[in-house]
Chains A and B, each alone.
Chain A
Amino acid sequence: MQTPADITLTIDRLAYSAAANSTIMDVAHRHGLDIAGLCSSPQLSPYGSCRLCMVQVEGQRSLAAACTMLVRDGMVVTTRSPEIDRIRRTLLELYLSQAEAGGDLARLAARYGVRADRFRSARHMVPSATPDESSPYFRFDPSRCILCARCVRACDQVQGQLALQLHGRGFHSSVRAGNGTFAGSACVTCGACVLECPTDALLEKSRLDGAPITSSVKTTCGYCGVGCQFIVEKSNGRIVRMRPDAESPVNAGHACVKGRFAFEYVGSPDRLTRPLIREGPRGRGGFRAAPWEEAIALIARRFGELLKQRGPDAIACISSSRGTNEENYLLQKFARACVGNNHIDNCARVCHSSTVAGMQEVFGSGAATNSLTDIEQARLLMLVGCNPTEAHPVTGARIRRAVRAGTRLIVIDPRRIELAQYADLHLQLRPGTNVAVLNGLAHIIIAEGLANAEFIAARTENYDTFRHIIAAYTPQRVASISGVSADLLRRAARLYAGSAASMCCHGLGVTEHRTGSYGVMALANLAILTGHVGRPGTGINPLRGQNNVQGSCDMGALPSSLCGYQKLEDRAACERFERAWGRPLPRQPGWKIPEMYEAAIAGKLAAMWIVGYDVAQSDPNSTHVRRALESLDFLVVSDLFLGETAHLADVVLPAASSLEKDGTFTNGERRIQRIRTAVPAPGEARADWQVICDVATAMGYPMRYGHPSEIMDEIAALAPMMAGVSYARLEGNGLQWPVPDRAHPGTSLMHAERFPRGRARFAAVEYIPPGAEPDAQYPFVLTTGRVLEHYNTGTMTRRTGLVQIIDRDFLEVHPADAAEHGLRDGDVACVQSCRASARLTVRLSKRVARGNLFTSFHFPDAGVNELFSSSSDILTRCPEYKVLAVSLKRAS
């Protein structure tokens, strides 16, 4: 095998060094040499169809295609000659005889001075073509298509969707989506094909006017926790394209439908543009627009009064996993230093709080152990309670690519998710039985001698207690609890324990349970039982739901830990904060979000400031939440839109979106990445960090920062795990914490040498049945989750073209169950829990097992969250969104 240094080649008389297995085109691309070519792309494997990149390789009789020819040491390449140019001119002429000039084809034709005269007369056929406008975001114009198949290959190799194909043969070939239109095909609108198209046959509708891109700025996606990097491209101040960054290790040039296309919400006409102050009774009254000065003054006055009247517990703050690290930091600083309590929480409470608790218990750290690039290094992937191709689409595509390249896959999920069809094993367990199944796997691993005794002895503790508990989880017993056969359990245990590198990814299907934290612990137990942690391609990796779930927790927007997960019990840490903030630090842990509601109803809590979190819409048992908010004396809400929560507010503050401000997000692999202002916020909307500063200052606690980078400097000074972070260092691909000092490169792999708590601790957790089990009255189990096209309460995505693809929440019903209840596809069903009912459109699907139902929760009018009780994780109060007993009938 030749090392890169071994290969030197000459291209047009200049010497270049190259890595083995690269093509001439790779080398040219890396060094910015422009060899003509339309069908090659750094994202795709060599194909060699356009033949424009023919070059002369010395000593070779015929010309070679630069895009497929591998480099050799000493190779001498010539990229231009009269012969080569003659071929290129003829080929371009042929292309122009078949296709309208667009994009790179037009540019190349101009460079080679080619027109299409000779083959455009009446005797020459031009294939007929009708544009396909069926996608909300791009159009396909076959008359511009040159059949380079980059779109087809991108669909195959990048997204793995295989929605596109080449149809027909020879001159009459055509690109086809499914059997006709993109909208009618398996296309998931990821846009990989559009990005690849060299002739604008596939073109974003936002770019149809051909306006040139006048400026661009790199930023981080504001949707899920994958943290894709985008180049926001603008034309005269308008965003026309979100181009995924090919250099980012996170998304490597790929994106999903939401990140790439669904940014129109930013310019939605119903954005909040001025502060609003309520007039009249709560919930029903109107609002009047007010100047910022008045709104800030009112908030400062009311907060001050209530603190004076009701004491330091009178005010609670809820921060947002959608906001930046800096904003989360500031809001918890506001709560702790300015208000003087720990009543600060964030929306991670309802998603991954159980992960943080569970992983901290076992490892001493609550964050992903490995990185997204580890997916390529794993030999086996085990997905538990997550649906990456829909909820974390770019990671989902990455997983599918790995699996198609030979990585083994186990899926543990009550639903036959899309990736289950690629899986070696699918353990379709009963909802709420994760702990039993995971303990059962541990049982088999121990019983069959597959445990890693060396690792257990060297790096863990509490094994004997664990083993004692696990002894009861025999395959037979687990099979009867979970519905997964003993045989399948055995095969999964062997596969997981036996691979050279097994990597777990989990999602809210693990955490959003009554025993969510236990489920996480049971999963982490497997990793330390087998030694599948602390090495590349292993570990426990929560897939974070929102863009900054990781960061909002890192920043200490939590009632019991400070920035950087420093404990309130840690005196030295607390004193450090007190010195920096100039105020005494409250040592009493604060309320978790559900406790805030209870306190409000009990009259203990008088006021709240809720930033970027529509609790009245997204939290379970919405009626209860609404009641809590209505009980408050004063409610301040900062948001992009006038949502359900904002409707109940006394003051509503218009916020800047992630495309309208500077800051940082931390993705699910602990990577702190910049967001940058791409467009100005509408009207008077402002970034939350500025507003927090103003309110704090008005309340007599001055907060003055010129730019979020200064906030980050303060964070770095206070949180040892981020001590080495600064905005200057975040240029490029960001930094993965821990970054203990300025010279540290960041940490892609955790726990390689030791665990933060020293030894990992086996958590001896028992299976406890879910809060609500089906019975005669409520015989079905309802679980909830995301669909690809929408995001959480849909506040953003419902204001985009995505509603043209999905315009409602669907209820997946097994065909046999549907038949028993007289339901057909498309019927409206009434789903009834002991608390409320919801109306949902039925979609027959074998993705759900019999007796189970599934729905998304993106269209609040359907009332899905009304159905749920306040049942929640025993440790963290993460809501039990994943198991609910319901009845099903046709809606009247």
Chain B
Amino acid sequence: MVDVFLSCDSASRAAGSRQLEAVLRREQARRSDFGLTLTGSRGAFFMEPMLEVGTTAGRVAYGNVAVADVPFLLSAGMLEGKPIAPFYLGDPEQIPFLKGQTRVTFARCGRIACDSPLAYEKDGGLAGLRAALQRAPQDVIDEVQRSQLRGRGGAAFPTGVKWQTVAACAADQKYIVANGDEGDPGTYADRMLMEGDPFAVLEGMAIAAWAVGASQGFVYIRAEYPRAAAAMRTAAEKARQAGWLGRDILSSGFGFDVEVRQGGGTYVCGEETALLESLEGKRGIVRAKPPYPATCGLFGKPTIVNNITTLATIPAIIGRGGDWYASMGTGRSRGAMALQLAGALATPGLVEVPFGITLRQVIQEYGGGARPGRKLIAVQAGGPLGDLLGEDRWDIPIDFDAFAAAGGMLGHGGIVAYDDQTDIAALAYRLMEFCAHESCGKCAPCRMGAQRSAEILASMRLGNGMLDDEQALDDVAFAMRGASLCALGGMAPTPVLSAMKLFPEAFRPPTR
């Protein structure tokens, strides 16, 4: 019987795979000559919904399939992998968008059944955990150090250093926390992994637990990701049943378990200390650092807080070696980076490429540039707090440090493009309003500065600005940047100020 693969990723479902699944199930009941396997997404969202068929010659993909197309495709020989126009894409891994990528963390995403530990293991899963359990914890940490992996949550802190710190702490209890509070608008890498390859996240957590001596893990998932939470819960339960989570992992005698928790719907809980407060059952507000979570984290215990993507990268690093991972990349940014293209691009989607290619290459070669008839004017990288990069800065390489040197940030890898139809003043207002709305309210500059700045930007946008508005915005920005407790307040003025610099005409005060 032929296998049909369909993405059940939330983005794919939004694009239509939900309805497609219903139709396929109906057809399946009628014809019973194919099986349906739900997978994650390969991240080429501009081609979703996408169907794949497991033919004897390998996987064959059909893109942009609508519900009404299914009977036709079936009758036209889709199950035999026939090249049916205009849907036929051939071997999905040879699709230009995907072919040029270097899939490490996202290698399995879209390829395997997302809820099957067997499929996971068959596709190379668990090799990392098995290898780790054969080695001393310090060896494992050394391997991560060698990989030069830096955290993908936004701060790009060296993962191995964090692990080493936690490992060095003497404590009766340590925790591994997977940060799945992916709140940056336009980002979705963590969600894709949790929905499409959840076992990789768990495997990464188990390796981390072995390395630092933790016995309990938590996956903290934002409230807006109900399917990711369900997928992680299912995966944790199946992993437990399969014997690689729980009291005795893979008969090694080592015990580690994972609990999945959901947030309450606030952006700032993606900040690690606010996340820990929330996980402790408290109001999600930022803690003053130091102490850092590595020494004083969840319930005051040494805690690794790693991003989902970071953790899902660990199994490959342990399985294939830190040196192999570090052989990719540039400067101090080694390995591959999952960039999430969004906004006014022709072909948005997830792009995992080694560090080093330029931003322009990413938005042109992968993102396909502007949509027809439009012109890109700016790119915002690193989430809603990231600098707006005008075209003069598109030649910087994908590299944490190069972005920082250029005054921007790569962050979690969100890349949102804006074209010439964008209302820049409205965008600036909206970004600041986002910060005001999401501010936890603990520290004064963020709580009040974002509110007052948003109020000023709102009136500027309507042409009701006042002569000293720019000075006021600048003063508030100075205080927010210099004094905020976390990056939300500290960086919120960045895109606004850069928008004002890039597009001064959009912010002209009234001439009265």
Contact = CB atoms under 8 A, between A and B. Distances in A.
Interface string B466-503: 00100010011011001111000000000000000000
Given A94-B444, A94-B445, A68 B479 contact: no
Interface of B: 266, 283, 285, 288-290, 436-445, 447-452, 455-456, 458-459, 464, 468, 472, 475-476, 478-479, 482-485
Contacts of B450: 170-171
B483 A123 contact: no
Interface in A18-70: 46-52, 54, 62-63, 65, 68, 70
A65 B479 contact: no
B439 A171 contact: yes
A118 interface: yes
Residue in B438, B468, B475 with the greatest tally of chain A CB atoms within 10 Å: B475
Interface in A141-181: 146-147, 149, 165-166, 168-173
Interface stretch (A84-92, A375-383, A521-529): A84-92
Nearest to A148: B444
Contacts of B448: 91, 94-95, 97-98, 171
A448 interface: no
Nearest to B469: A118
Given A123-B455, A170-B450, 19 more contacts: A47-B288, A50-B444, A51-B445, A51-B484, A51-B485, A62-B482, A63-B482, A63-B483, A90-B475, A90-B476, A93-B475, A119-B472, A125-B451, A146-B444, A169-B441, A170-B437, A170-B438, A170-B440, A171-B448
Interface of A: 46-52, 54, 62-63, 65, 68, 70, 83, 86-87, 90-91, 93-95, 97-98, 118-119, 123-125, 146-147, 149, 165-166, 168-173
B29 to A, nearest CB: 48
B440 A169 contact: yes
A54 B480 CA distance: 12
Nearest to B458: A123
Given A65-B288, A90-B476, A124-B455, A170 B436 contact: yes
A452 to B, nearest CB: 27
A133 B343 CA distance: 52
A149 B441 CA distance: 11
B334 to A, nearest CB: 24
A237 to B, nearest CB: 39
A789 B455 CA distance: 47
Given A49-B443, A169-B440, A170-B436, A83 B288 contact: no
B447 A173 contact: yes
Nearest to B464: A123
Contacts of B445: 51, 87, 90-91, 94
Given A124-B455, A147-B447, A171-B451, A51 B476 contact: no
B290 A46 contact: no
A172 B451 CA distance: 10
A166 B479 contact: no
A631 B437 CA distance: 78
B434 to A, nearest CB: 11
A165 B282 CA distance: 11
A65 B436 CA distance: 22
A168 B284 CA distance: 11
Contacts of A149: 442
B288 A48 contact: yes
A62 B481 CA distance: 9
B482 A54 contact: yes
Contacts of A147: 441, 444, 447
Residue in A49, A68, A168, A173 with the greatest tally of chain B CB atoms within 10 Å: A49
Residue in B436, B448, B456, B475 with the greatest tally of chain A CB atoms within 10 Å: B448
A158 B445 CA distance: 27
Nearest to A45: B288
Nearest to B485: A48
A123 B285 CA distance: 28
B452 A83 contact: no
Contacts of B476: 90, 94
A86 B472 CA distance: 12
B288 A87 contact: no
Given A54-B482, A87-B478, A118-B468, A173 B441 contact: yes
Contacts of B290: 68, 70
Contacts of B483: 51, 54, 63, 65, 87, 91
Nearest to A98: B448
Nearest to B456: A123
A94 B497 CA distance: 19
Given A68-B288, A97-B452, A49 B283 contact: no
B440 A123 contact: no
Residue in A48, A68, A91 with the greatest tally of chain B CB atoms within 10 Å: A91
B183 to A, nearest CB: 14
A171 B479 contact: no
Contacts of A123: 455-456, 458-459, 464
Nearest to A48: B288
Nearest to A63: B482
Nearest to B490: A62
A90 B478 contact: yes
B443 to A, nearest CB: 5
B418 to A, nearest CB: 26
Contacts of A93: 475
11 contacts: A47-B288, A51-B443, A62-B482, A86-B475, A86-B478, A87-B482, A91-B445, A95-B444, A124-B452, A147-B444, A147-B447
Contacts of A49: 442-444, 485
Nearest to A172: B441
A185 to B, nearest CB: 17
A731 B445 CA distance: 45
A172 B440 CA distance: 10
Contact of A170 (B447, B468, B475): B447
A170 B285 CA distance: 10
A97 B451 CA distance: 11
A173 B451 CA distance: 12
Nearest to B290: A70
Contact of B441 (A50, A68, A70, A166): A166
Given A94-B448, A123-B459, A46 B288 contact: yes
A171 B441 contact: yes
A169 B439 contact: yes
Contacts of B443: 48-51
A146 B448 CA distance: 10
A91 B444 contact: yes
Nearest to A23: B288
A191 B448 CA distance: 28
A337 B105 CA distance: 95
Contacts of B478: 83, 86-87, 90
- The 5 closest A-B CB pairs, nearest first, are A48-B288, A68-B288, A173-B441, A170-B439, A51-B483
Contact of B479 (A70, A90, A118): A90
B288 A94 contact: no
Given A48-B288, A94-B476, A118-B472, A171 B444 contact: no
A257 to B, nearest CB: 27
A148 to B, nearest CB: 8
A94 B441 contact: no
A49 B486 CA distance: 11
A119 B439 contact: no
A14 to B, nearest CB: 24
Residue in B285, B443, B464 with the greatest tally of chain A CB atoms within 10 Å: B443
Given A123-B458, A125-B451, A166-B283, A51 B441 contact: no
Contact of A51 (B436, B440, B444): B444
A52 B447 CA distance: 14
A316 to B, nearest CB: 60
A471 B439 CA distance: 66
Contacts of A48: 288, 443, 485
A808 to B, nearest CB: 38
Contacts of A63: 482-483
A166 B472 CA distance: 29
A769 B275 CA distance: 57
